[in-house]
Amino acid sequence: MEQADYPYARTKLAQLKADYQVDVLADWGDDGGNWSPGSWTKAELDRLENAICLMAGVMGGNEGFVRNLGGVTVRKADIGHHAGEALSHRVSFSTKRTFSAWTVVHEFGHAWDANHGWRLSRLLEKYTGGFTSPPLSLLKRLLRLSDSGVFNSEKKPGRYGRRAGCNQAGYFYGDRPSGSNWNFNRVEDFAESVAMYIGWERGNDLSDHAHKRITRYQLQNLVEDPLFHVIDNWTDYASCFYPENGDYTKTKRWQFVDDLLNGKLKIPG
Q: Given the complex with Zn ion, which of 9 and 191 has the nearer CB atom? A: 191
Torsion sign across C-alpha atoms 180, 115, 82, 204? positive
Q: Given the complex with Zn ion, which of 39 and 121 has the nearer CB atom? A: 121
- Dihedral angle over CA of 253, 254, 259, 265, nearest 10: 10
Q: Measuring CA to CA, which residue among 53, 79, 100, 133 is closest to residue 213?
A: 100
Q: Given the complex with Zn ion, which of 59 and 83 has the nearer CB atom? A: 83
Closest approach, Cβ 222 to Zn ion, in A, equals 28
Q: Given the complex with Zn ion, which of 164 and 194 has the nearer CB atom? A: 194
Q: Given the complex with Zn ion, which of 17 and 82 has the nearer CB atom? A: 82
Closest approach, Cβ 103 to Zn ion, in A, equals 9
- Residue pair 198/260 in contact (Cβ under 8 Å)? The answer is no
Q: Given the complex with Zn ion, which of 105 and 191 has the nearer CB atom? A: 191
Q: Given the complex with Zn ion, which of 185 and 207 has the nearer CB atom? A: 185
Single-letter amino acid code for the residue at 8: Y
Closest approach, Cβ 51 to Zn ion, in A, equals 15
DSSP string, 66-105: HHHH--EEEEEE--TT-SEEEETTEEEEESSS---HHHHH
Closest approach, Cβ 259 to Zn ion, in A, equals 22
Closest approach, Cβ 183 to Zn ion, in A, equals 8
Alpha helices in the chain (DSSP H): 6-20, 42-58, 62-69, 101-114, 119-127, 134-142, 186-199, 207-215, 234-241, 252-261
Closest approach, Cβ 188 to Zn ion, in A, equals 5
* Distance separating alpha carbons of residues 198 and 185, to the nearest angstrom: 20
Cβ neighbors of 254 (< 8 A, separation 6 or more) are: 193, 196, 197, 200, 248
Q: Which residues bind Zn ion (CB under 5 A)?
A: 188, 191
Helix, strand, or coil (residue 132):
strand
Closest approach, Cβ 191 to Zn ion, in A, equals 5
Q: What angle do CA 214, 218, 223 make, to 5 degrees?
A: 105
